């Protein structure tokens, strides 16, 4: 009888699935020990990880059942503090705060009368603090759930007390998505750009106009960008100023809740693009220098600055910073019913300042975050934006991994852009395409994509732009091979499903504050006279075909052919036979391809169909019979017609 190997409890469990990591076992043990030490500390002093991550229920502005408001804020450098706002005519004496030994300030604002809050809903509010120097500073509360901007007065955001009457609070009709993390087809979307209008699109418009499009296209997951409040619209949401506030540009918190609830009703999973890798350096409407020091939430000095991003870097080793960030994740899950997160900038967190040399602080944070989320929310999905390929990132924490469900395959879009920029069609290397699409760690799931928002940003042409002078169905083959060969999940950036012709460029000083390129022109795909409809139809067919055959959750494909002269790639996955002819001009009659399973094969999909803008060169009713003779390492072969620039799928 074979012995079942026991899972080690020292963080080296990952070696069971990858023995090649053995030389790194001392580092794995050390990392896991650092994680365990912090976990035990939270158990001993904070009532455990789950309780510790509920800081949003006790910090910031909390309304009790009588209408009283308790306000708590961590600001150890301050010598005095008071709550000021429209409710007390900005008085510096009406609502003084007291300081705990841990540097947490607190005050209580009693109700006007039983059940009547003394602070009006949506009124402006701030904390004012006195520094050791005697100077006074005003700040927006760090845990604030709503900030607004009135550009006619000032570009600086104002904190608001969000406490709508009970009848106006959105009541969720649906819980979290119960979809497993298998077979994710992700639609990456930015609410503000989600219409052809030359203005910011709203949560309500997205709910009514875009959600039905996403559902029809066959995507089962939405990744929402730029929801966490950011003062600078052109930052694409990556310079976060207020971590607990949903961006007010697009509407109210209740309207965002309605959007998410509607997505759940449609069977869609909703992920938040969470930015915990860095923070905006704004002081007046951000959390930088909140208590007058540069090292409250961030590292002090140069270590706390990301020179490339011009932003601040969190001190993940600090207890209160962990409370803030872990509670931030719980807040978006509990209050808005998001189903998980795409963590931005994970590579920067792990290496640039927080690698092995600095006590694993960022890694411990990510492990705690994944452990907490997966423990409390069984169907949660976490995705790491990582370019490094760090091993164990996508393995469970109990094995010694970092705990993410997926990592983004960031080399794939870079490959396409490089090929299109630097090589003519006949120079494309099939081996390179296959290697890039299949070069991922065994048992760590990847999200594959041809292009995301990064490629659509100004300064880089979109894939559709590069292919403008070619046939649209060239693009179909590129997308389709990424979908079928590239990973265990697939991602598409909003508008790319129909080959959106323009780059992204947000209103800014350099372009006269124009919205011309800060929108998605869905009117193009709705116009039957234009060619965009063809790619859109192919995207629909591709996604719904995956829904039926489930290749994303099948084992990695077996690639039987990478022919550099013919420009043909052949592989099998999920019981289907995929044949890609990337040759710019050469079609092949009776092309022999290997296949493992014998039988009568029929056409499942051809990118050459008329409805996809093709030439209908393939008989959709054709039948292909296998011959039991080894070919390209497979037990059988069949002969097929493979037109140039065409993707073909056969199945039994």
Q: Dihedral, CA atoms, 255, 261, 267, 269, nearest 10 degrees? A: 80
Dihedral angle sign, alpha carbons of residues 108, 111, 116, 117: negative
Residues whose CB falls within 8 Å of the CB of residue 48, separated by 6 or more in sequence, listed in order:
42
Q: The tokens of 89 are what? A: 């005519």
Cβ–Cβ < 8 Å for 69, 61: yes
Strands 489-493 and 311-312: unpaired
Q: The tokens of 466 are what? A: 């590069």
Residues whose CB falls within 8 Å of the CB of residue 536, separated by 6 or more in sequence, listed in order:
217, 497, 498, 525
- Provide the 3-class DSSP secondary structure of residue 429: coil
Catalytic position from the list 385, 386, 451, 537: 385
The partner residues of 61 in beta bridges, in order of sequence, read 71
The partner residues of 595 in beta bridges, in order of sequence, read 636
Q: The tokens of 46 are what? A: 């904070």
Describe the strand order of the beta sheet including 80-85 as a list of residue ranges.
80-85, 125-130, 136-139
Closest CA to 247 of 259, 260, 256: 256
Q: Which region holds residue 252: left if phi is over 0, alpha if psi is between -120 and 50, else beta?
A: beta
- Provide the 3-class DSSP secondary structure of residue 77: coil
- Provide the 3-class DSSP secondary structure of residue 104: strand
The answer to whether 616 is a known catalytic residue is no
Cβ–Cβ < 8 Å for 650, 603: yes
- Provide the 3-class DSSP secondary structure of residue 627: strand
Q: Please count the other Cβ atoms lying within 10 Å of the Cβ belonging to residue 94.
A: 15
CA distance 476 to 646: 8
Closest CA to 381 of 522, 258, 239, 221: 221
Q: Find where tokens 């594959």 sit.
A: 448
Q: From the centroid of its chain, how far is CA 125?
A: 32
Backbone angles phi, psi at 124, to 5 degrees: -75, 145
Strands 104-109 and 98-99: antiparallel
Q: What is the DSSP letter of 55?
A: G
Complete DSSP assignment for 553-571:
TSPPPEEEEEETTTTEEEE
Q: Which region holds residue 636: left if phi is over 0, alpha if psi is between -120 and 50, else beta?
A: beta
Catalytic position from the list 344, 405, 488, 502: 344
The answer to whether 344 is a known catalytic residue is yes
Cα angle value 488/643/536 (rounded, 5°): 50
Cβ–Cβ < 8 Å for 608, 509: no
CA distance 562 to 136: 69
Active site residues per annotation: 344, 385
């Amino acid at each position: 009888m074979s012995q079942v190997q026991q899972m080690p409890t020292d963080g080296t469990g990952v070696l069971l699935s990858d023995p090649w990591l053995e030389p790194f076992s001392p580092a794995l043990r050390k990392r896991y020990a650092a994680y365990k030490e912090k976990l035990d500390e939270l158990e001993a002093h904070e009532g455990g990880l789950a309780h510790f991550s509920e800081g949003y229920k006790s910090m910031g502005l909390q309304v009790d059942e009588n209408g009283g408001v308790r306000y708590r804020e961590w600001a150890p450098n301050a010598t005095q503090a008071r709550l000021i706002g429209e409710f007390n005519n900005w008085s510096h004496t009406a609502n003084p705060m007291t300081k705990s030994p841990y540097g947490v300030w607190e005050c209580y604002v009693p109700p006007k009368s039983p059940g009547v809050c003394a602070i009006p809903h949506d009124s402006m509010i701030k904390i004012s603090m006195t520094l050791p120097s005697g100077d006074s500073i005003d700040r927006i509360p760090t845990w604030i759930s709503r900030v607004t901007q009135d550009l006619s007065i000032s570009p600086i955001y104002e904190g608001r007390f969000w406490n709508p009457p009970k009848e106006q609070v959105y009541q969720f009709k649906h819980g979290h998505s119960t979809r497993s993390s298998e077979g994710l087809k992700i639609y990456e979307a930015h609410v503000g750009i989600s219409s052809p209008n030359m203005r910011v699109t709203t949560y309500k418009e997205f709910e009514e106009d875009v959600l039905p499009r996403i559902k029809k296209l066959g995507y089962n997951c939405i990744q929402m960008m730029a929801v966490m409040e950011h003062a600078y619209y052109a930052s694409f949401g990556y310079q976060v100023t207020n971590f607990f506030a949903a961006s007010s540009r697009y509407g109210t918190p209740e309207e965002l809740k309605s959007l998410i609830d509607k997505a759940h009703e449609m069977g869609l999973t909703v992920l938040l693009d969470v930015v915990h890798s860095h923070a905006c350096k704004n002081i007046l409407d951000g959390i930088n220098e909140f208590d007058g020091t540069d090292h409250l939430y961030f590292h002090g000095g140069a270590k706390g600055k990301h020179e490339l991003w011009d932003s601040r870097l969190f001190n993940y080793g600090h207890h209160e910073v962990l409370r803030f960030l872990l509670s931030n994740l719980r807040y978006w899950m509990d209050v808005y019913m998001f189903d998980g997160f795409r963590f931005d900038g994970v590579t920067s967190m792990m290496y640039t300042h927080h690698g092995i040399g600095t006590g694993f602080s960022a890694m411990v944070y990510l492990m705690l975050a994944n452990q907490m989320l997966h423990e409390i929310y069984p169907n949660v999905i976490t995705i790491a934006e990582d370019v490094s390929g760090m091993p164990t990132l996508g393995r469970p924490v109990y094995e010694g991994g970092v705990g993410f469900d997926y990592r983004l395959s960031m080399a794939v879009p870079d490959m396409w852009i490089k090929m299109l920029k630097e090589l003519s069609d006949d120079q494309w290397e099939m081996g390179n395409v296959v290697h890039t699409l299949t070069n991922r760690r065994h048992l760590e799931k990847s999200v594959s994509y041809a292009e995301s928002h990064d490629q659509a940003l100004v300064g880089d042409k979109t894939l559709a732009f590069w292919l403008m002078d070619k046939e649209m169905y060239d693009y179909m083959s590129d997308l389709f091979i990424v979908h079928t060969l590239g990973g265990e999940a697939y991602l598409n950036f909003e508008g790319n499903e129909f080959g959106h012709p323009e780059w992204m460029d947000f209103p800014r000083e350099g372009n006269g504050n124009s919205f011309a390129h800060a929108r998605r022109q869905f009117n193009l795909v709705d116009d039957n006279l234009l060619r965009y409809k063809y790619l859109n139809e192919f995207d629909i067919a591709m996604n719904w075909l995956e829904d039926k055959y489930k290749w994303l959750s099948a084992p990695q494909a077996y690639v039987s052919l990478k022919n550099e002269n013919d420009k043909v790639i052949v592989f099998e996955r999920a019981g289907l036979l995929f044949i890609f002819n990337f040759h710019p001009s050469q079609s092949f009659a009776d092309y022999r391809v290997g296949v493992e399973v014998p039988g009568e094969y029929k056409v499942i999909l051809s990118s050459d169909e008329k409805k996809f803008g093709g030439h209908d060169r393939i008989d959709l009713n054709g039948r292909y019979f296998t011959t039991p003779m080894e070919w390209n390492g497979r037990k059988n072969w069949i002969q097929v017609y493979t037109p140039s620039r065409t993707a073909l799928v056969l199945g039994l």
